[in-house]
């Protein structure tokens, strides 16, 4: 008998939850319709329109943005470990730079 009573309690709680969710959904639809109709008369954008624009603006932002790769492997390795501080100086010690040759006339 207690198992049947426990099952009835759970069914009743689930039914109350479903009724609550359905009533929230109905009110949401009603408020969206009211907002859209009022926007026609007031000339201001509807709340749904404002929320949609903000959502689209957020999705257009590319965040978190990846850091641009530096021009040297040593700087890339330091950046990956967090040891690098942003500066305008590049590490170019690994490059082979030949001195320009002077052509005497």
Integer Cα distance of 24 and 32 in angstroms:
12
Residue 72 included in any domain: no
Contact between 79 and 99 (Cβ < 8 Å): no
Contact between 39 and 49 (Cβ < 8 Å): yes
Residue 7: domain span = 2-61
* Overall domain count for the chain: 1
Which pLDDT belongs to residue 103?
64
Residue 92 included in any domain: no
Which band of pLDDT confidence, cut at 50, 70 and 90, is reported for residue 84? low
Which band of pLDDT confidence, cut at 50, 70 and 90, is reported for residue 61? confident
Residue 14 included in any domain: yes
Average pLDDT across the chain, whole number = 78
Average pLDDT estimate for 44-65:
82
Q: What percent of the chain has pLDDT over 90?
A: 31
Residue 55 included in any domain: yes
Which pLDDT belongs to residue 2?
86
pTM: 0.46
Residue 93 included in any domain: no
Residue 98 included in any domain: no
Residue 31 included in any domain: yes
Give per-residue pLDDT as tens, 5-27: 999 999 999 999 999 999 999 99
**DSSP one-letter string for 62-83:** --SPPPPP-SSHHHHHHHHHT-
Which band of pLDDT confidence, cut at 50, 70 and 90, is reported for residue 60? confident
Residue 73 included in any domain: no
């Amino acid at each position: 008998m207690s198992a049947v009573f426990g099952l009835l309690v759970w069914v009743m709680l689930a039914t109350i939850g479903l009724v609550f969710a359905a009533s929230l959904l109905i009110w949401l639809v009603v408020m969206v319709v009211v907002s859209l109709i009022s926007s026609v008369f007031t000339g201001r954008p509807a709340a749904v329109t404002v929320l949609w624009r903000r959502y689209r603006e957020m999705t257009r932002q590319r965040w978190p943005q990846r850091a641009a790769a530096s021009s040297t492997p040593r700087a890339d390795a330091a950046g990956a470990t967090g040891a690098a501080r942003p500066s305008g100086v590049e590490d170019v010690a690994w490059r082979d730079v030949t001195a320009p040759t002077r052509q005497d006339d």
